[in-house]
Amino acid sequence: MSRSKPTLLALGLMLGLSTQALAQETFNAPEDLSKVKPQLLCVHYSDQSEADKKRFFARLDKLNLLSHKDYDLIPKGQVEVGSTMCGMYMGLGKPLQEQGMQIRPMVFKVVHVYPEHYIVTQSGVVMEMHERKEGEMPPTLNQAAPKVAPPPIAPH
């Protein structure tokens, strides 16, 4: 399934990649993975041979881009709240569609659409997971602020 240009642009901007790199159907990594943007390794991990998956995983692990949850969940093809976005791509593959926006300086929120779930990431971490149900709308990127916001620190 092809992605629309706005979706590619949103993801590309978030990951710091060009839309050309994301639209590339097959990704052939060089022997020296230190010359490849780590985000490309995350996105294309699930499309690789077992030998390349091991190389990609070793490189991403060396860069500390995976959470402790990712180690157990990636081989199972699962994601949980607290997983990294990199781990999500590695475990579930490329989403059907994505839509993202910058909500504060250096803070990006993205809704990733998978066949079974809507997954919301913020700053590279899975924050919410919602089951996809026919007739229900996906989570919104813009959530209205309440008229009276709770205090930033919980009372003791």
Residues 55 and 32: beta-carbon distance below 8 Å: no
* Ranges assigned E (strand) in 85-155: 97-104, 107-113, 117-122, 125-131
Tell me the pLDDT band of 9, cut-offs 50, 70 and 90.
Answer: very low
Does 7 have pLDDT greater than 50? no
Tell me the pLDDT band of 141, cut-offs 50, 70 and 90.
Answer: low
CA dist., res. 153 & res. 139, Å (int): 26
- Measure CA 73 to chain center: 14
b/e sequence 32-57, b meaning 16+ C-beta within 10 Å: ebeeeebbbbbbbbbebeeebbeebb
- Of the spans 14-18, 26-30, 125-129, 146-150, which averages the highest pLDDT? 125-129
Tokens of 5: 């240009």
| Whole-prediction pTM | 0.74
Q: Could you report the per-residue pLDDT of 23-50, keeping only the tens digit for each?
A: 456 788 888 999 899 999 999 999 999 9
